[in-house]
Structures are given as C-alpha cells and as structure tokens.
Structure 1
Amino acid sequence: MRYVIPAFAMVAQMASALPAQVISEGPDDVAVTIYRDPGREGGGGMDLDYLNGFALITETREIVLPAGAAEVRFEGVADGIVPVSAIVTGLPGGTVQRNRDARLLSPASLIDGSLGNRVTIRRADSETGAMREQDAIIRAGPDNGVIFETAEGIEAFQCSGLPETFAYDGRPAGVSARPTFSVRTISAEATRATVTLSYLSTGFDWTAHYVAELDEDGRRMDILAWMTLANSNGQSFADARLQAVAGTLNREAADDVADRYRNLSLRLNCWPRGSTRTGVRRRDLRSDPGPGIPIIVTAQRRSGAMMEMATSISVISTQEDLGDLKLYRFPERVTIAANAQKQVALLVRPDARFDRYYAGIAQFDADVPLQPLNLMFRARNVQRNGLGVALPSGAVSVFGATANRRMQLAESRLPDSAVGELVELAVAPSTQVMLSTVRGEDSGDANEWRLTVTNANSVRAEVEIDIGAQTVNLDIPGRARTVEREGRRYWLVRVPGEGERSLRLRVLP
C-alpha cells in the first residue's frame, strides 16, 4: 500500500529538523537615518556619555539558503538594536522565528559559559618561568571571583602572582563574537536571496553647529552649518547612505525591549596563601584587565574647537519635508565609526542679512547707574535675507575680523527655526552701549523712573529695552515708541553715535 504525505506534513517535518545555519557576516549595503534625542532642550548639546537619540538602520544582504529549515544569522548589527522593531523581507519562505543573541564575547562571558566544563590553563612555572598547560575545570565565576580546579587542587584565577590565562576549545553556546540578530525560515528549494533587514537602534544622536563670519559693516554673515553625529555602538557602518531627521519626535520606548547586549564584568578575588578568610583583594577587569586579558580599544571620543570655516564646500545635505519634521539627505556615502563622532556639512548660507541691535531689561526696584546692553543680531528666516531654510537647533560660533585677525565674538545657542520665523543671536554684553535706571520723585502711589541709554560708538545704535509685562500699569509719554510682543512691552529707541536718549515713565499701582 502506498502512502501519500500531504504537502503541509512535509513542511512540518522540515521545520522540526535541526535547521542549517546561514551566516551573513555583514551588509552589502546600509542606510542609517539618525533621529535627535527628543528630550534635549532646543539648542542643547549632546550628552556623549549617554546618547539618547536613535537610528533607523536598513541593511541589504545577499545570502544563500539551503532547502528546508535554516537559521539565518545577521552578524554585525548595532549593539542597541531594538529586536521588536526588526523587519526582515526577501526570504522566500518568510520568517518563522526571530532571536537576538543575549551576550557578546568577552573574558567574563567565556568564563560564565564554561562553568563546570573542562578548559586549558596556560601558566608560568614557578621554578623555571616556562609556560606550561594543564587541564582545569571552572567551578565558579565571574561575578564573585573565578575559581578553578586542577589535579593540584582548587585555586583562584590570576592569584599566583605569575602570568596565567585560560584557553577554550570553542565558543560557549549563546555567546556571540559580534552583535547578532537571527531568524528561522523554511525554503522549499536552495536559492540565493537578497534580504533586507531594517531595525531601530539606540545609542545615536546628532546636533548642528553653526560658524558665522561677520563682515566689516556688522550686518551680514557667511553661515556654514556642520552636523556632528555620534555613535556609541561598538559597530561601525561603512559607506552608509546617511540621513538625519530634525524636529521633536514623540517617542515612548520600553526599556525591556531596547536593552543593550549583556556584557558581564569579570571580578577576580584573591586571598593570601594559606588563608581563605582575610585579606581579600578585588580587581574589576572593566578598568584593570590584568595580565592575560587583552582589551582592544577600537575608537575614542574626541572633543575640541570647532573646525575652521571652510572656504569651499562642494558636498552638503539636501533638505526635504518629512511630515512636520525635516529630513536632511547627504549625497555622499559616509562611514559612521564605532564609538566615535563625525562632522558633515549641513548647509551653507553666504551673505545672510541681519539687523543689529542692543537689548536689555529695565529693573524698577533699585537704581542701576550702568548696565551693559547685549549686542544682538536678528533676521526673519526668509530668502530675501539670504536664509529661507529650516535651521535645526544647535550652537552658534560668531567670528569677526579686527586688525586683519579673526577673533571669536560669541558662542550662542539657536533653537529650531522654521522658515518665516525670527532668528535671534546673542553676541556679547557691550561696553559701548549702556543703560542707566534711576528713580525719580514719587507722586502719590506712582513711582517715577528715568531710563537713559548712552552710546559711545561713532555710529547709531538701535536699542530695545524690556520695560515689563503688559499687565504692569505704566504711564509712558506719548512720544515714546513702544511695542508689545509675547506678553512683554518694549521701548524702542535710536541712539545717535556718541549720544544718549532718555525716557521718563511712572509705574502706577
């Protein structure tokens, strides 16, 4: 009698078989889109010790699938991968199961994965100094100290005072040499497939930094913006297609699905020979590796002064709308190195026109004979002023020239500025344009004050003095020019070169 096995039963048999392993060592092509830390205040810098932005990473990989069940291992993904966000497309049989390896290869994970198993210890002979090998069994470790047993007895690792290290026959199960994400699939036949892996990853951030060159008349600036991006993952992304997103994104992430790869710390506890109760010496291998435990530093964060204004920028980003956000796309491929920062040109705006003015706040509680006013620059973000593009938040370095020397005038902050909004830059307190606030005679319940602005420059100064909230009851002479803006009242005055202007007002109850 002949039996016919239904097709679905054959598939079930294939799925139950031990899957073949297909290892993809790295992507053939990768795109990285970096989102800023949504909790960072406008214009604030990155916290390099805790990058709270994230990235959308899309990798294209070509793999060879056998017929039947297979486990496809995507090696070299970002440390901060959020597994639940991962999407795999291009597998002929689809995805049956997804996994992320929990631990990375390290001295601690090797010992932890070898507990109770036989390893080889290499150590220097106490008499000859020659290296010798012998079998050992790891009995305890790594958190509370590493204990191993040989034919000579039970000892604590690296406590003999002589070099010694372990050698392992293989990598323990569940320990990966590189961050790895794996899926299981079933293919009806052997085939070559182009697979796309997309996922979110923590440990990224970016910020803008503007370098502004002020011209001689003090009203025009050449502006160059750099994007500084940071990657705190241990994985590099070579020749990546880079994009960055500006704007405030509503983000709610659960810690239990976005945790980093587990990396145990290895502690070595030793005691003097002949005693197991006193004199314990501890060493934390995260800061002091000791002999036999090599630590390789692949990259290092750096900081320093901003790069000089470039005389020619040939490659800059293009700006696109992404809903209410802004997307910056870079035409050249960029290598985003592990545990490092990189700067790329964001935008160039030569000959941007700004209004120059001085600003201050009048305080009606005590006499202030001399108060420096702040030199400010302001412009509407429109094309006729040489701007007309969305300006992401960041630091602003303002430079000017004096006696043929380039000098830094200010380090300011710029919040996100949309097209059409006012852009304001605070440069520095001025010693040439000053405000004095002097109390006059009181009449009844009203307090009289005299505001005087002096200008020691040879050119006219435009001045704006904040004289209080709109709710404050003031008696101001009709000839004084005032404006109301965002709940505040301002006195606007033009002060001639080497001259002064005054305003008498009364603060009413």
Structure 2
Amino acid sequence: MKRKIMLGVLIGLLCVSLRGQTEDIKRKDVSLTVYNQDFALVRDIRSLTLKEGINEVRFFDIAARIEPTSVHFKSITAPDKCSILEQNFEYDLVSADKLLSKYIDKVISVISQDDVKYTGYLASYDGSQIVLAEDREKGPIFMINRSNIRDIEFPQLPEGLITKPTLVWSLINNKPGAHDVEVSYITGGINWVADYVAAVSDDEKSISLNGWVTIDNKSGTNYEDASLKLVAGDVFRVQKKAAITDRMEMKALSAAVPEQFEERQLFEYHLYELQRRTTLKNNQTKQISLLSAPRVAVNKVYTYSGALYNWYYYDAWQGLQCNKKVAVNLEFKNSRENGLGIPLPKGIIKVYKADVDKSLQFIGENQIDHTPKDEKISLYLGNAFDIVGERKVTDHKKIADNLYRDSYEITLRNHKKEPAVVKVIERPWGDWTVLQASHNYKKEDATTLVFEVNVPANGETKVAYTAEYKF
C-alpha cells in the first residue's frame, strides 16, 4: 500500500509539473456524433488565454484512442488571427514499469516488506523481480521479488512521461487575450447499437416494440453534459472497426416511453439526435430509449423448405434425406399505418410472449439490417414444435441427355389444435417447368417455387407436383 502511495505522489508531482506549462483550459461545451462502426466525431469547445506571438498549448482530457491526423483546430474568437504551427500527440503515459524503464542503469532504492533497504543501479526488471547492482562492476547483485517490495524511491521526476493523453500545439497568435477555440477529432472506442424488445400479443396478431440505443464508451475519457448524435448507415472507412460484443440485457417493456431522439437524414445515412444532454463516462455502457410502438400488426408465417441439397442430383436421387423442420417467422411492415414508419437502425430484436400468469417468456431473437420506412421485416425465431414436414422424390426419368422429369411428394403434419398455413418453398434447377401440381403455386423468381398450403388441425396435407428440368 505504501509503495502505491509513493508512486501516486510521484505521479501527482508530474501532473503539477505539466500543468505549470500552460494556462488552464476550461471546457465550455462538448458534442459527440457516434457512428455504429466503433468511432465518433468529438467537437470540444474550450476557453484559453493566448499571448501575442508563439504559444505552447497543452490540451488535456482527450480520448486515448484519438486519431491524431483527424484533429482540426480553430479559434472561434479570431479564426484569421490564430493558427497552428506544429502539433504533437503525447501518449507515453506514466506507470510503475514506465518509471522503472526511465531508471535503467540509474540509482534507485527499494525497501522490502521487512524494512531492508537496497540501493543500487537498476540492472533489469520484469513482472516478478527487480535486479539492483550496488556496483556495476564489482556487485553485489540484489534480486528482489516484487511481491516483497514495500517502497521504491526515485531520486527525481523523470522526463518524458505524462499522466494522460495530451495534444500539444505550437500556435501563432496575433490577437492576445481570451479565445474560445474549437477542437474536433475522430476517436475509436465509442460504438452504439440498436436493441429492440418485442412482446407478442395473446392472439399473436400484434407486438409491442420498444427500441433502445446502447452506447459503449471505451475511448479513454469522459464526456460530461454532452450533446449526442448517432449516425446509422454503412459509412466507408479505410480500416474497419470492431463492434460491440457485450450488450446489457433489457427487460421487455410494454409501457410507452417519451420520444427522446429526433431523426433526420444526413447524406445517405440517418441521424438520431438526443433532445437533451447526457454524460458518457469512460468504460461505461449506457442505454437510452429510442422508440416505443405499442401496437404493430404482425403475421406469423410457417415456412417449409424440405430439400437439404442445393444442386441437381441427376441420377443419384434415391435415398436423399430431407429437412423435417418447419420454420417460424414473424413479419411486419415498417410503416406509419402499422404504428412505425421510421428508419430503424440495425440491431437485435428479442421477442417475448406472456405466459398464462402474465410473466413474459423469451421465444427467440434475430438481427435486422438498417431498414428504411415502408419496408417489410421478417424475423426467423425458431422451428415449430408441432408442425412437421417430409419431402421425397417419387419418380425420376431421364427424357434426353439434357432433360429430366421428376415428381415430388411433400407431406405436412399439423399436431396443433388449430389449422395452420404453411409456405412450402422449392428451389428448382436449370430451365424448369411445372407440368402438374396438386395445389396452386407461384413462381416467385427463376429459382423459387412457392405453395401456400392449408393444413388442418391434428391432420396432414400432401402436396404433389411434377417438373421438367432442361440443362
């Protein structure tokens, strides 16, 4: 403990030393524009006093993950009278090991837990030991276990270490006195994602949808009482950044919350501005309500795609296995008539449904991409337990070298107490034609054939069709 105090005092003296090199710079305002690609644009306005001529200014409390080449400085007070001659970004932060590295081949003193004092030249150090030589040629050599060290005494403050990342400017100023200056820069380590919670109604015909913004600040500094804007879209950057991997869990809320963000278009993206100020602390994850839609009409869609292969089997058709799972999707339109109608940032939607005791139970989740208004959203939530599918090839004929004719039978069994409509999706190959079918079908595109099949409660329905494939 005492060792830590001694190092803390040394670091404190270093802070005083650095502060003495410049006037106090008071922050007047800070604003953040956070992109959902792990970076943000910071706009920082501060007040400082400048003399006429060349000034050295140290700008503290900046992000540790700043991109130095993105820094832009201007004097709001006199933009044509003040400009940068030189800029340096200092990030060699003080630590116990950094202090020791400055004293290699120099004299320090180490005091052990049992009050034994060792003084000598620092020969080396690592995570477990410190090696001192009383005399560099004759010795003796002391190897002190770091877990047994109580104090380390350094003769004086080392040069070249700082306690926080710092921008250092050499400014030329022709208007002495007080200046308000604006510094903007890009920093990594700030990311945001949208998270959504949906609660399905008892009749499964609507959902209540709540959206949340999750902001993760690992940039290395705090942003007190900041204005906040969020940009959603795929902004191209030369180097891709990481996304948030850990999210805070949210409860499924059905109560309406006040609108806090104003949405508007920015170039080919969408911007969401928080209508109040907020504080983002370093290493903090913050959640802010984005939207609340108490009633959004949805359709529950059952989908069956029985083929497990995505190629044509030619004459190797016997013994083909099939998929028996029937997928369950919730589909809804992002429209104003449907209770939404705003651009939805990409994110994960967690879906819940109330049990008989009204407690919400988790029933699945999926991720949506950036979704403009009036577009349809389809959420795959899992597979139906009580609806089963089966698919088989019932006949295969080679008509010519490049022409084949196949017949299929698809069986859907519904073990539920109510009827179900299942969308059967087939993926034909080549130049194909349906010759006959037991049910109406729709050719959605060149490789998609769809049947809408009614399956009675506790019953089954068979779909049969024959198609020719020309290659």
Normalised TM-score (structure 1): 0.75
Instruction: Output the amino acid matched with 2:340.
Output: L
User: In the alignment, does 2:438 pair up with 1:484?
Assistant: no
**Separation in 2, partners of 1:447, 1:245:** 52
User: In the alignment, does 2:399 pair up with 1:410?
Assistant: no
Gaps of 5+ in 1: 1-19, 38-52, 256-300
For the 8 Å contact 2:26–2:47, the answer to whether it is kept is no
CA drift at 1:66: 2.9
CA drift at 1:59: 0.9
Q: Which one of 387, 399, 406 corresponds to residue 433 of structure 1? A: 387
CA pair 494-483 structure 1, distance change in 2 beyond 3 A: farther
| Matching residue of 2:427 | 468
Q: Which one of 59, 71, 96 corresponds to residue 107 of structure 1? A: 96
User: In the alignment, does 2:238 pair up with 1:252?
Assistant: yes
| Matching residue of 1:450 | 409
CA pair 439-186 structure 1, distance change in 2 beyond 3 A: closer
Indicate the larger mover: 74-83 or 63-72: 63-72
Q: Which one of 40, 55, 77 corresponds to residue 70 of structure 1? A: 55
Indicate the larger mover: 242-251 or 439-448: 439-448
CA pair 372-436 structure 1, distance change in 2 beyond 3 A: same
| Matching residue of 1:43 | none
CA pair 241-169 structure 1, distance change in 2 beyond 3 A: farther
**Separation in 2, partners of 1:23, 1:166:** 33
Instruction: Output the amino acid matched with 2:375.
Output: E
| Matching residue of 2:463 | 503
CA pair 238-485 structure 1, distance change in 2 beyond 3 A: farther
For the 8 Å contact 1:136–1:148, the answer to whether it is kept is yes
Q: Which one of 193, 206, 221 corresponds to residue 179 of structure 2? A: 193
CA pair 342-310 structure 1, distance change in 2 beyond 3 A: farther
User: In the alignment, does 2:366 pair up with 1:378?
Assistant: no
Written as runs of structure 1 = structure 2, the 5 A alignment for 1:262-273 is: none
User: In the alignment, does 2:350 pair up with 1:397?
Assistant: yes
**Separation in 1, partners of 2:95, 2:26:** 20
How far does the alpha carbon of each residue in 1:34-71 deviate from its partner, in whole angstroms, 9 at most, with x for none?
Answer: 1123xxxxxxxxxxxxxxx2111111111122333221
Written as runs of structure 1 = structure 2, the 5 A alignment for 1:317-396 is: 317-363=261-307, 366=319, 371-396=324-349
For the 8 Å contact 1:470–1:489, the answer to whether it is kept is no
Indicate the larger mover: 94-103 or 462-471: 462-471
CA pair 122-139 structure 1, distance change in 2 beyond 3 A: closer
**Separation in 2, partners of 1:170, 1:487:** 77
| Matching residue of 2:9 | none
**How many residues get paired?**
425
**Separation in 2, partners of 1:383, 1:22:** 56
Q: Secondary structure at the match of 1:55?
A: strand
Q: Secondary structure at the match of 1:473?
A: strand
Q: Whose strand fraction is larger, Structure 1's or Structure 2's?
A: 2
**Separation in 2, partners of 1:456, 1:375:** 15
For the 8 Å contact 2:334–2:342, the answer to whether it is kept is yes
CA drift at 1:387: 2.1
CA pair 124-112 structure 1, distance change in 2 beyond 3 A: closer
How far does the alpha carbon of each residue in 1:141-182 deviate from its partner, in whole angstroms, 9 at most, with x for none?
Answer: 679975445579564564387424334465433321011111
| Matching residue of 2:222 | 236
Instruction: Output the amino acid matched with 1:22.
Output: T
For the 8 Å contact 2:110–2:119, the answer to whether it is kept is no
Instruction: Output the amino acid matched with 2:462.
Output: S
CA drift at 1:124: 3.7
How far does the alpha carbon of each residue in 1:162-209 deviate from its partner, in whole angstroms, 9 at most, with x for none?
Answer: 424334465433321011111111334541111111001112222221
Q: Secondary structure at the match of 1:477?
A: strand
CA pair 137-63 structure 1, distance change in 2 beyond 3 A: farther
Instruction: Output the amino acid matched with 1:390.
Output: P
For the 8 Å contact 1:208–1:394, the answer to whether it is kept is yes
Instruction: Output the amino acid matched with 2:199.
Output: E
CA drift at 1:224: 0.7
Aligned-CA RMSD value? 3.2
CA drift at 1:316: 2.7
Q: Secondary structure at the match of 1:111?
A: helix
Instruction: Output the amino acid matched with 2:91.
Output: A
| Matching residue of 2:401 | none
| Matching residue of 2:44 | 59
Give aligned-pair identity as a percent.
Answer: 20
CA pair 160-140 structure 1, distance change in 2 beyond 3 A: closer
CA drift at 1:458: 3.7
**Separation in 1, partners of 2:52, 2:144:** 49
How far does the alpha carbon of each residue in 1:210-246 deviate from its partner, in whole angstroms, 9 at most, with x for none?
Answer: 1001001112111111122212233222222122111
Q: Secondary structure at the match of 2:379?
A: strand
For the 8 Å contact 2:425–2:451, the answer to whether it is kept is yes
Instruction: Output the amino acid matched with 2:268.
Output: D
For the 8 Å contact 2:199–2:254, the answer to whether it is kept is no
Q: Secondary structure at the match of 1:98?
A: strand
CA pair 373-309 structure 1, distance change in 2 beyond 3 A: same
Written as runs of structure 1 = structure 2, the 5 A alignment for 1:108-187 is: 108-117=97-106, 119=108, 121-124=109-112, 129-130=114-115, 137-140=121-124, 146-150=130-134, 153=139, 155=141, 158-159=144-145, 162-168=148-154, 171-187=157-173
**Separation in 2, partners of 1:314, 1:98:** 44
Instruction: Output the amino acid matched with 1:177.
Output: T
For the 8 Å contact 2:387–2:412, the answer to whether it is kept is yes
CA drift at 1:115: 3.9
Indicate the larger mover: 425-434 or 80-89: 425-434
CA pair 224-319 structure 1, distance change in 2 beyond 3 A: same
For the 8 Å contact 1:105–1:175, the answer to whether it is kept is yes
For the 8 Å contact 1:436–1:451, the answer to whether it is kept is yes
